[in-house]
């Protein structure tokens, strides 16, 4: 993309980020780039020794880095305890993709009983049902639908084409991407012969503050009680959260993972992409699950967990999977040999 | 959520559910809860011996349970042959999340050639294309789009932001959740060198009666013939059904599963979450596939099937996956030992 | 579906497809069908010896096939070097599911600064933001939203309920299915204690020509640079493409696969369904990955790759997964036996 980012002086940038500047406060910074691709008006960052050569050769206008690393930096410096977090904050100053229009579009359909805060932006064809509360500074993208009785906390942002069903509580400063669905019915049926009798889902969904939810993610409402997403939770695209799931504060769930009904994930966990978590299990705090693992039992001890076989060339893999099915017989044959060799 | 559920007398509840009441017909019931969390105006249910202690100590206003179990119940009783199915029916009486507005919203765009039944509810900004038939009592949520020639059977409900392409047939009493897509093109190409030539998808989608389809699920139209979803099929969120798939009556497919093109699933199957089913295979009736399994061959015998390795701590798992790739050589070494030990 | 397809004479069909006709040019062809199900007004095709018996017995009006195969065909023939590709082109002549209405619907909300080409079709309730360029002949389905600064190349088609964020570049002749999201924020955070600081995603998405993107697929914008989808790439439903991914020309990605951040896939690859590709890896050209495999390392050599265990009956599988966890000890025991048997 060839679009214009905002420009800012390096001194002003240091002030906004609360960082000490070593260098030219008047330099104009007009974008961010990696150490190796930055030009003289780019801000860059150094947070990993693997890029040490890039640091020494960088053409960047300025680099965010620790005091210790600064001696090897040939250009202007912004000194940070946590350079990567400071870089993250800097990116937010250059964000233009999400510019917001003030006001309520004339084509939006807002129920008279809805309570809408100050300084909101409500896009074209948005539908807001009865009894909804929209906090101050909330942005709702075009064609989104907010079901009856739902509440969206202040400074939250919904991108276009989001659907909230009835009675969804969403905290402050949420970021909810397009095609997200929150509050759809949990998948609950009682079997009566071969017929499935629908269990109406009477709970809601309760989402904490500072939560981000990626495009196409779905979060079902609870059966009797609420589905709960803690504060600071970050959920990537196309994640499925079933009814009555509880996700602890600051946990991160990567793309395409699925959490089945009534399972509980602790705080500060990292669930990598495409992980499956079966129903009615518990994962304690500070657990990492690697990509595409199946969590088919509770995890009671913090640590890193995996499943799967790793990748092989298909011709080799076909032999391995035959033997995988023979593992029980292999084990028996091994034991027989051991007996005979005693 | 702190919302008001409907109130009903226990006697009236027993009548509506067709259950025998043992206790106070005048008691007001204002909600449902589990045995352990219920208060004196809650209805609860007992269907599993694991909750026997909860039953004996329950504070519920009334409990749905079998005649046999009723002697251990300290409160009012509703006697049912299948308490869980009776509970499911009871939940439907307390459902308020899905309240419907009568009438057709003025912003809906309905083609003049569409035939719209009696007592329908059509939300804001809905688009209904030419030749569509909407049955009596159908509810279409805001911002949904119904393609030309599609038909929706009576008493079906589409939640907001659903997309039906052209020529989708949907039976009666369907429940279709938000962001569902039905009738998108099957993924079919003919290779011509490295170029892929699109195979136009000329079939449709045919969905039986009493089907539920979860949020974000996609069902592609057939290449030449129709993709078919049987009566009573229940599909969870973010499931992918490719072109020409046939799903038998009353089969249940849980969240994030994917069924590739031209495969056939029998009746009364349970496909757990995140299962992958490859193309052109057949699964007979009454098969269960456990979570995150890959079905890479036809299943010709009813039963329960699985794949995958189960979860390990990552450090241990890394050793196992190395050996998994060595299974063929391990087997050969085992055979050599056996030869030498004859 | 019981809908009317267009009718065309066999001679005219041969002309349009550029194929030699052997038979009755005046025969009316009114649809396509497989060899075994075709009637006398259907066009069929033969491209695989497995259907040789069907060819000999077909009732089709005409069959597309190679010169070599034509001697065994009892009906009219259309001779093609690549019958399957010719069949693909024929399907496009009978396509009626995607008929388009000309013009811009009065309810569409189009920013004054947008540039809209000739012969476009823009559906009801579409929202087009400032600075958008819409090429000639583009079709945008109802309720779609196009973010500021995005560009859609000529003759592209977006089905209903698509969301493009700001600054997405889409090439010519794209087909983008319903509920697709392009340009949502990449999933990037810098950890500061337990808190995640959002890294604003300043890149865009750049999509080549002749790309098809299936329903419910999500493609995130890049962090600093663009996410790039090459020319001729075909992506199925519910695929997740994370930020900074590069997909090479003519690669095919099947349903429900997920590609994590900053990974690169070569040209002419086939990624089967439900594959997971972890972040920061590279896959060379001409690689096939089979269904539901996890690519957890770069693939440096063209070929076919797989992971997983294959399917077993659950009772057997439970034994295998126990032994999978014991593989390291099995290997040690095997070595001990070998030592003792030297």
* Chain A neighbors of B5, CB-CB under 8 A: 202
A42 is catalytic: no
A319·B327 Cβ contact <8 A: yes
Counted across chains A and B, CB pairs separated by less than 8 A come out at: 258
A258·B273 Cβ contact <8 A: yes
What letters, b where the CB count within 10 A reaches 16 and e where it falls short, cover C297-325?
A: eebeeeeebbbbbbbbebeebeebbebbb
Q: What are the distances in angstroms from CA B205 to CA A183, B91, B247?
A: 27, 31, 12
pLDDT at A210: 98
Q: B330: part of which helix (H) or strand (E)?
A: helix B327-340
pLDDT tier at A118, thresholds 50, 70, 90: very high
pLDDT tier at A100, thresholds 50, 70, 90: confident
A177·C167 Cβ contact <8 A: no
Specify the pairing of strand B139-140 against strand A240-241: unpaired
Give partners of A (≥3 CB pairs < 8 A): B, C
pLDDT tier at C5, thresholds 50, 70, 90: low
Closest residue on chain C to B106 (Cα): C107
pLDDT tier at A6, thresholds 50, 70, 90: confident
Tell me the pLDDT of chain A averaged across its residues. 95
* Chain A neighbors of B85, CB-CB under 8 A: 190-192, 197
Q: What is the number of other CB atoms lying within 10 angstroms of the CB of residue A154?
A: 18
Q: Is the pLDDT of residue A192 over 50?
A: yes
DSSP string, C69-87: GGGG--SEEEE-SSHHHHH
The CA distance from C122 to C101, in Å, is: 8
* Residues facing residue C39 across a β-bridge: none
Give partners of C (≥3 CB pairs < 8 A): A, B
Please classify residue A118 by burial: count the beta carbons closer than 10 Å to its beta carbon, then call 0-12 exposed, 13-18 middle and 19+ buried.
exposed
Q: Is the pLDDT of residue A282 over 80?
A: yes
pLDDT at C2: 45
C329-338 contacts at long range (C-beta below 8 A, 24 or more positions apart)? C330/A330, C330/A331, C330/A334, C330/B323, C330/B330, C331/B323, C331/B326, C331/B330, C333/A334, C333/A338, C334/A334, C334/B330, C334/B333, C334/B334, C334/B337, C337/A334, C337/A337, C337/A338, C337/A341, C337/B337, C338/B333, C338/B337
Closest residue on chain C to A239 (Cα): C240
Mutate to test the interface with A, among B141, B216, B249, B330 (most CBs of A within 10 A): B216
pLDDT string in tens for chain B (342-residue length): 445 567 999 999 999 999 999 999 999 999 999 999 999 999 999 999 999 999 999 999 999 999 999 999 999 999 999 999 999 999 999 998 877 888 999 999 999 999 999 999 999 999 999 999 999 999 999 999 999 999 999 999 999 999 999 999 999 999 999 999 999 999 999 999 989 999 999 999 999 999 999 999 999 999 999 999 999 999 999 999 999 999 999 999 999 999 999 999 999 999 999 999 999 999 999 999 999 999 999 999 999 999 999 999 999 999 999 999 999 999 999 999 999 887
**Phi, psi (degrees; rounded to nearest 5) at B312:** -135, 165
What number of helices (H) and strands (E) belong to chain C? 5, 40
The CA distance from C145 to C167, in Å, is: 13
C320·A334 Cβ contact <8 A: no
Q: Is the pLDDT of residue A4 over 70?
A: no
Q: Choose the catalytic residue: C41, C42, C243, C323.
A: C243
Q: Is the pLDDT of residue C3 over 60?
A: no
* Chain B neighbors of C314, CB-CB under 8 A: 288, 290, 303-306
Average pLDDT, integer, range A214-227: 97
* Residues across chain A: 342
B276·C256 Cβ contact <8 A: yes
Closest residue on chain A to B309 (Cα): A308
Q: Is the pLDDT of residue A304 over 60?
A: yes
Average pLDDT, integer, range C302-312: 95
A190·B84 Cβ contact <8 A: yes
Q: Give pLDDT tens digits for A120-143.
A: 999 999 999 999 999 999 999 999
Q: Shortest Cα distance from C325 to chain A (angstroms)?
A: 10
The CA distance from B177 to B183, in Å, is: 15
* Residues across chain C: 342
Average pLDDT, integer, range A244-253: 98
* Chain A neighbors of B107, CB-CB under 8 A: 107, 109, 125
C179·A179 Cβ contact <8 A: yes
ipTM value: 0.96
Average pLDDT, integer, range A159-163: 98
> Side by side, which strands form the sheet with A227-229?
A115-116, A133-134, A151-152, A168-170, A205-207, A227-229, A246-247, A264-265, A282-283
Radius of gyration of chain A (CA): 26
* Chain C neighbors of A286, CB-CB under 8 A: none
Mutate to test the interface with B, among A309, A322, A342 (most CBs of B within 10 A): A309
pLDDT at B102: 80
Q: Which domains does chain B have, with CATH numbers?
A: 8-93 (3.40.1390.10), 103-305 (2.160.10.10), 313-342 (no CATH)
**Phi, psi (degrees; rounded to nearest 5) at A134:** -115, 120
Cα angle B284, C291, C228; round to 5: 140
Tell me the pLDDT of chain C averaged across its residues. 95
pLDDT at A58: 97
C31·B202 Cβ contact <8 A: yes
pLDDT at B96: 84
Average pLDDT, integer, range A238-256: 98
Closest residue on chain A to B272 (Cα): A278
pLDDT at A2: 46
Q: Give pLDDT tens digits for C204-262.
A: 999 999 999 999 999 999 999 999 999 999 999 999 999 999 999 999 999 999 999 99
pLDDT tier at C97, thresholds 50, 70, 90: confident
* Residues facing residue A58 across a β-bridge: none
Q: Choose the catalytic residue: A41, A52, A243, A280.
A: A243
């Amino acid at each position: 993309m060839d679009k214009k980012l905002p420009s800012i002086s390096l001194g002003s940038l240091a002030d906004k980020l609360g960082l000490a500047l070593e260098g030219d406060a008047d330099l104009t910074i007009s974008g961010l780039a990696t150490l190796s691709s930055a030009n003289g008006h780019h801000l860059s960052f150094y947070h990993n020794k693997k890029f040490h050569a890039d640091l020494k050769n960088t053409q960047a206008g300025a680099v965010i880095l620790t005091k210790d690393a600064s001696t090897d930096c040939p250009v202007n410096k912004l000194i940070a305890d946590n350079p990567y977090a400071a870089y993250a904050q800097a990116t937010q100053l250059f964000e233009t993709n999400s510019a917001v229009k003030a006001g309520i579009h004339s084509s939006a359909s807002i129920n008279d009983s809805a309570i809408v805060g100050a300084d909101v932006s409500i896009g074209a064809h948005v539908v807001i049902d009865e009894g909804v509360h929209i906090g101050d500074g909330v942005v709702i993208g075009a064609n989104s639908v907010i079901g009856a009785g739902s509440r969206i906390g202040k400074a939250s942002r919904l991108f276009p084409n989001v659907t909230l069903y009835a009675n969804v509580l969403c905290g402050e400063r949420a970021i909810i991407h397009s095609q997200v669905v929150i509050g759809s019915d949990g998948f609950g049926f009682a079997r009566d012969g071969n017929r499935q009798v629908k269990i109406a889902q009477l709970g809601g969904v309760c989402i904490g503050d500072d939560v981000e939810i990626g495009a196409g993610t779905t979060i079902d409402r609870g059966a009797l009680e609420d589905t709960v997403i803690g504060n600071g939770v970050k959920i990537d695209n196309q994640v499925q959260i079933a009814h009555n799931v509880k996700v602890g504060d600051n946990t991160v769930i990567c793309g395409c993972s699925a959490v089945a009904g009534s399972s509980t994930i602790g705080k500060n966990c990292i669930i990598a992409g495409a992980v499956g978590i079966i129903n009615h299990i518990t994962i304690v705090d500070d657990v990492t699950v690697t990509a595409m693992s199946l969590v088919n039992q509770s995890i009671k001890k913090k640590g890193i967990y995996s499943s799967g076989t790793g990748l092989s060339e298909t011709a080799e893999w076909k032999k391995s999977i035959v033997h995988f099915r023979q593992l029980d017989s292999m084990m028996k044959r091994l034991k027989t040999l051991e007996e005979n060799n005693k």
